[in-house]
């Protein structure tokens, strides 16, 4: 099969002829149709995530068709359309797994990080961590639901119920979360890189009541803010933007160092927290919710062989919404 392979941190992915995986007893062999491109893939390629599998097929927003099933598989059959997210396996036994927090599992393995992912024509995935996808979404439009959507949704839940919500970094996750938040009756304030008028217009088109530079203060104090951009300097900015009792959620897997800040901006029962990964319950909830809103995803597609171009386009911020690789002929 054709695959894009990660071997050396800091070097581009390499296009190779690679063996088709053979599914284990609990695994599906999936013919990949589309694989979303995520900021996490960029952190991986840049060597910012510790201990990846090497060599590795990246990609953790996989939309595909079941081509074969392992002998213990009972949730899916050949021909089914499935989605594969970032959470690829958990132990089911540790203190986190036993308390509804499998996203924190000590032994968790992640798709496109410790498990080969979807930047290839085929992938193998554990059926217990695969999901049916809502029928109303074409493969390309479904792909960003699987990470930008799922982890964005978890961030939104952990941001609390406040009405005035700031989103720092208006990329793939924010363009989905803005639609969910607006549907819930919240007001969305979008913060972009200074001067990025196109991203601010895009945010307004998705219902943001205000859009501006991340260096600006919002027109009113926020109840919560979610930081999707991997920029530590946004943490004090967001703490300054939230009212007393407000919550600041860091949604990314990696962030540059957070600068020192005065205690005064955390005081007043402001909360600063991260969100790590997702649980299967998050996936079930969000994939049921998205089509009822309905969430519409804006996705720019690239051929599989152009994975490096897709990643550099994401790095440059030259995208509105999400990016995804078109892998299968049906897409
Ligand atoms: Zn566990
Ligand atoms: Zn992701």
pLDDT digits (tens, 9 = 90+) for 87-111: 999 999 999 999 999 999 999 999 9
Closest-approaching ligand to the CA atom of 98 = 1
pLDDT of residue 130: 98
Closest-approaching ligand to the CA atom of 87 = 2
DSSP 8-state assignment for residue 256: P
Mean per-residue pLDDT for 49-71? 98
Q: How confident is the model at residue 330 (pLDDT cuts 50, 70, 90)?
A: low
* 100 Cβ contact partners less than 8 Å away, ≥ 6 residues apart: 279, 281
pTM metric for this prediction: 0.96
Could you read off the pLDDT of 128-184 as tens digits, one per residue? 999 999 999 999 999 999 999 999 999 999 999 999 999 999 999 999 999 999 999
Would the pLDDT of 331 be above 50?
no
Q: What is the chain's mean pLDDT, rounded?
A: 97
CA distance 14 to 11: 9
CA distance 131 to 15: 28
**Cis? peptide before 294, omega within 30° of 0:** yes
- Gap from CA of 275 to ligand 1 centroid (Å): 17
Closest-approaching ligand to the CA atom of 108 = 1
- Gap from CA of 100 to ligand 1 centroid (Å): 10
Percent of the chain with pLDDT over 90: 98
CA distance 227 to 134: 28
pLDDT of residue 91: 98
- Gap from CA of 158 to ligand 1 centroid (Å): 21
* 329 Cβ contact partners less than 8 Å away, ≥ 6 residues apart: none
For residues 211, 213, 215, 219, the Cα torsion angle rounded to the nearest 10 degrees is -20
Q: How confident is the model at residue 329 (pLDDT cuts 50, 70, 90)?
A: low
């Amino acid at each position: 099969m054709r695959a894009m392979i990660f071997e050396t941190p800091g070097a581009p992915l390499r296009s190779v002829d690679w063996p088709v995986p053979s599914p284990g007893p609990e695994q599906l062999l999936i013919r990949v149709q589309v694989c979303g491109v995520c900021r996490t893939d960029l952190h991986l390629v840049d060597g910012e995530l510790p201990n990846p599998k090497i060599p590795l097929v990246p990609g953790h927003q996989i939309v595909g068709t079941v081509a074969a099933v392992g002998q213990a598989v009972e949730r899916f059959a050949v021909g089914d359309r499935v989605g594969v997210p970032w959470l690829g396996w958990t132990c089911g036994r540790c203190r986190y797994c036993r308390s509804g927090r499998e996203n924190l599992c000590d032994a968790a393995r992640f798709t496109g990080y410790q498990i080969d992912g979807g930047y290839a024509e085929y992938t193998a995935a554990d059926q217990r961590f695969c999901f049916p996808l809502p029928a109303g979404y074409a493969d390309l439009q479904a792909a960003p639901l699987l990470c930008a959507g799922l982890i964005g949704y978890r961030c939104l839940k952990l941001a609390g119920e406040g009405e005035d919500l700031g989103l720092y970094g208006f990329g793939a996750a924010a363009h989905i979360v803005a639609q969910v938040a607006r549907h819930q009756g919240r007001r969305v304030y979008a913060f972009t890189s200074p001067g990025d008028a196109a991203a601010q217009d895009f945010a307004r088109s998705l219902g943001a009541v205000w859009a501006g530079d991340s260096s600006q203060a919002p027109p009113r104090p926020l109840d919560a803010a979610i930081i999707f951009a991997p920029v530590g300097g946004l943490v004090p900015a967001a703490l300054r933007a939230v009212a007393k009792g407000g919550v600041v959620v860091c949604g990314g897997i990696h962030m540059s160092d957070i600068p020192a800040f005065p205690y005064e901006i955390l005081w007043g029962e402001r909360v600063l927290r991260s969100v790590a990964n997702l649980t299967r319950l998050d996936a079930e909830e969000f994939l049921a919710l998205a089509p009822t809103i309905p969430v519409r995803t804006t996705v720019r597609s690239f051929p599989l062989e152009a994975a490096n171009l897709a990643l550099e386009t994401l790095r440059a911020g030259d995208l509105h919404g999400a990016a995804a690789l078109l892998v299968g002929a049906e897409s």
